[in-house]
């Protein structure tokens, strides 16, 4: 900021007061203009960051909706197979007959876990945090954004934990190998199918939680695809 000092000689206190007032007004005007420009810049940066974040969250929500739809169909099929086997065992159906039931259930389709997990992007959020434009976004909106991205991290961590706790990977591979060779053991098959159904149920619950957080974070309701 540059101030031009008066070149004329000040003859009276009135002249001094007038020039002093002009200097003060010039300083206040310059400071106000600078503050307005900075505010406008921050508001523009916040609006751009919000637009990128919300576009990213809408894309993530679409991925979650698609995963829930596919996993839901797979979970229903596995649950039906599991429940049918349990009924066979309760009714003391001969093992050879149970094997026939298993082969009939899985013969027409590729049988596997086939868990669909969405690709959850977070680049727009990371950029907004890194360039500090996130600090200029409205606080209430920022809380919703933060909760949604925290939920994304949590569900991914939870999936990995559930896979380790619920699924026996080598056992599932062995069962699928036996299934392919036609030498499946019914009770082993029931155990693995139960693990797969439980894993899909857990994944769906996690994704439904994330789905709610993403919808809550967006400014307008987004219709579900399910």
- How much is the average pLDDT of 138-143? 88
Question: What is the per-residue pLDDT across 28-48, written as a single tens digit (0 to 9) for each?
Answer: 666 666 655 665 555 677 888
pLDDT at 181 over 80: no
Which 3-state string (H, E, C) describes 39-60? HHHHHHHHHHHHHHHHHHHHHH
Q: Residue ranges of the alpha helices (H) in the chain?
A: 13-90, 95-106, 123-130, 139-166, 169-181, 186-217
CA distance 79 to 197: 6
Please give the full DSSP string across 157-168, using - where no structure is assigned.
HHHHHHHHHH--
- How much is the average pLDDT of 11-18? 64
Q: What is the pTM of this model?
A: 0.71
Mean pLDDT of the chain: 80
Encoded tokens for 94: 């001969």
Question: What is the per-residue pLDDT across 149-161, written as a single tens digit (0 to 9) for each?
Answer: 999 998 888 888 8
In this predicted structure, what is the pLDDT of residue 7? 54
Question: Residue 187 half-sphere exposure, CB side, CA atoms within 13 Å?
Answer: 6
Q: Report percent pLDDT > 90 for the chain.
A: 23
């Amino acid at each position: 900021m540059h101030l031009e000092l008066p070149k004329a000689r000040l003859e009276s206190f009135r002249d001094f007061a007038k020039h002093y007032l002009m200097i003060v007004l010039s300083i206040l005007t310059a400071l106000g203009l600078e503050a307005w420009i900075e505010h406008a810049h921050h508001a523009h940066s916040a609006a751009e960051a919000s637009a990128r974040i919300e576009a990213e969250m809408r894309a993530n929500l679409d991925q979650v909706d698609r995963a829930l739809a596919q996993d839901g169909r797979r979970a229903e099929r596995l649950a039906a197979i599991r429940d049918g086997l349990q009924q066979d065992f309760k009714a003391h159906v001969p093992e050879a007959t149970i094997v026939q039931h298993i082969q009939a259930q899985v013969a027409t389709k590729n049988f596997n876990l086939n868990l669909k997990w969405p690709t959850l992007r977070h680049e727009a959020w990371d950029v907004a945090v890194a360039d500090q434009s996130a600090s200029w976004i409205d606080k209430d909106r920022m809380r919703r954004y933060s909760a949604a991205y925290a939920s994304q991290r949590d569900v991914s961590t939870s999936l990995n934990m559930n896979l380790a706790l619920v699924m026996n990977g080598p056992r599932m591979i062995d069962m699928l190998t036996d299934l392919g060779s036609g030498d499946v053991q019914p009770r082993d098959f029931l155990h693995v199918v139960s693990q797969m159904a439980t894993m899909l149920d857990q994944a769906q619950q996690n994704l439904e939680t994330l789905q709610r957080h993403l919808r809550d974070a967006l400014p307008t309701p987004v219709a579900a695809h399910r």
